[in-house]
Amino acid sequence: MQQFEGRVAVITGAASGLGREFANTAASLGMKLVLADIDAKGLERATAALQAGGAEVISMVVDVSKREHVEELADAAMIRFHGVHLVFNNAGVAAGGLVWENSEADWEWVLGVNLWGVIHGVRVFTPIMLECARRDPHYEGHIVNSASMAGLLNPPAMGVYNVSKHAVVSLSETLYHDLRLVDAPVRASVLCPYFVPTGIAHSEAHRPHALENDEGPTASQQAAQTLVNKAVESGKVSAADVARIVFEAVREGRFYIYSHPQMLATVAERMDAIVGGKPPADPYAAMPQLTQMLKAGLKKG
């Protein structure tokens, strides 16, 4: 995708973190913005700031786990801007802990946002983009799905999150192949960031009441939360850096997008273990202090 100015970008999870920086970058390129988030106050602040900077913006409070919410977002985009060119299925949440200690509510919440949010985004927006392409012979479209390095690795005490992000990688790769199968002028990418300072470590604040746990967190869940907080806050690659990397990848038509390409050595170790029929490789082998932190947290419990 080469032309950004005057085109329309749809961004979920736009109130903070990566989504907010995608919006900032898109606005700087002259794009029209359709923003969505479950955080009403954060979304209002982001919208006001972007409009004050001269961007043309509409925004809507959206729970991406609900199909009808995503459909309403698409309807609003088409009514206001009559087209969609760039879609960021970006909204995400996190829950950790030993995988057998995660509640059914944990699974419903994380898969609802991280996986079903992307599924709804793909199902709703891809046909719209294909129809836009049929009307415009010069149309260019691109879909960016936010996964994670946890979609290529399986860190301990992050099972629910890992499953959701591996599924997003699979969905995105299939989307890439399916778009090529029909010769669509729409590209697809999957974003796999590592630890980047965003609001995802505090996503529990926006968890629906119906999916809250009756009991407090276990020792493993507390340890996982502490690790994520520390790792995210100490991240040296900012959300703005990731946004720059993503827009460069969209411009170049790249599928896999990494914030920390140095982590690919660990991904290669995992793949070698799969091909060689070995036990799963340790995703924290290069950072044993993370495993030690988790074990220490478990002993406190």
Q: Report the pLDDT value the prediction gives residue 246, as an integer from 0 to 100.
A: 98
> Structurally, how many domains does the chain consist of?
1
Q: Concatenate the DSSP letters of all residues of 48-89 into one string.
A: HHHHHTT--EEEEE--TTSHHHHHHHHHHHHHHHS---EEEE
Q: How far is CA 38 from the centre of its chain?
A: 14
- Kindly report, residue by residue over 98-126, the tens digit of the pLDDT: 999 999 999 999 999 999 999 999 999 99
Q: Report the pLDDT value the prediction gives residue 217, as an integer from 0 to 100.
A: 94
Answer yes or no: 284 catalytic: no
Q: Report the pLDDT value the prediction gives residue 233, as an integer from 0 to 100.
A: 81
In a domain, 222, yes or no: yes
Q: Report the pLDDT value the prediction gives residue 299, as an integer from 0 to 100.
A: 87
What b/e readout covers 129-161, taking b as 16+ CB neighbours within 10 angstroms?
Answer: bbebbeeeeebbbbbbbbbbbbbbbbbbbbbbb
pLDDT band at 234 (very low <50, low <70, confident <90, very high): confident
Q: What's the whole-number mean pLDDT along residues 285-297?
A: 92
Place of tokens 């746990």: 213
Question: Per the residue annotation, which of 161, 176, 194, 258 is the catalytic one?
Answer: 161
In a domain, 253, yes or no: yes
In a domain, 130, yes or no: yes
- Kindly report, residue by residue over 54-66, the tens digit of the pLDDT: 999 999 999 999 9
In a domain, 15, yes or no: yes
Q: What's the whole-number mean pLDDT along residues 175-187?
A: 98
Residue-range definition of the domain harbouring residue 178: 8-300
Q: Report the pLDDT value the prediction gives residue 202, as an integer from 0 to 100.
A: 85
In a domain, 3, yes or no: no
In a domain, 91, yes or no: yes
The whole-angstrom separation of Cα 226 and Cα 215 is 18
- Kindly report, residue by residue over 194-229, the tens digit of the pLDDT: 999 887 878 899 999 999 999 999 999 999 999 988
In a domain, 2, yes or no: no
pLDDT band at 273 (very low <50, low <70, confident <90, very high): very high
In a domain, 269, yes or no: yes
Q: What's the whole-number mean pLDDT along residues 127-156?
A: 97
Q: What angle do CA 284, 285, 289 make, to 5 degrees?
A: 65
Q: Report the pLDDT value the prediction gives residue 197, as an integer from 0 to 100.
A: 86
- The structure's pTM equals 0.96
Q: Is 301 a residue whose pLDDT tops 80?
A: no
Q: Report the pLDDT value the prediction gives residue 182, as an integer from 0 to 100.
A: 98
The residue among 221, 227, 207, 3 whose CA lies nearest residue 109 is: 207
Domain CATH number, residue 167:
3.40.50.720
Tokens at 206, concatenated: 């926006």
Give the distance between the most distant pair of CA atoms in the chain.
Answer: 62
